[in-house]
Amino acid sequence: MIANMSESEVALLSRMWEQHMRAPFPPHMRGREIHGEDMVLLDADIAGCVVSTLSGPLDEKRRKVLLLCLAAVEKVLPSIDDEDGASEYYEHLRNMAALAVELGNADAR
């Protein structure tokens, strides 16, 4: 287990990751940018940081990437329509990113 992280938070992030892996990417978001954010890249960057968080403490570079991604997903969420469940998909991404940041902050203490 990752030092300084509560087992329940890590287990929650792990379950969220498993749910995310089963969820299909909203087809109409491929190749789409919202407020200058590439929606596929945003998904990939958050996913990479979540996997890294589950593997161990984030290094400073990944932590900064995750914080930027969290801000980006917060910025685009109000503009995402619900076609293909896209808003739910990106809300789930936001929640995973926020939990990964929380876990990273706990680890930094």
> What values do phi and psi take at 37, rounded to 5?
-105, 125
pLDDT tens for the chain, residues 1 to 109: 344 456 788 999 999 999 999 999 999 999 999 999 999 999 999 999 999 999 988 888 989 999 999 999 999 999 998 888 999 999 999 999 999 998 877 655 4
Supply the pLDDT for residue 56. 86
Supply the pLDDT for residue 2. 40
Q: Please give the helix or strand (H or E) that residue 38 lies within, else none.
A: strand 37-38
Token pair 């995973």 is found at: 96
CB 73 within 8 A of CB 93: yes
d(CA 58, CA 19): 22
* C-alpha triplet 84, 85, 88: angle, nearest 5°: 160
Supply the pLDDT for residue 84. 84
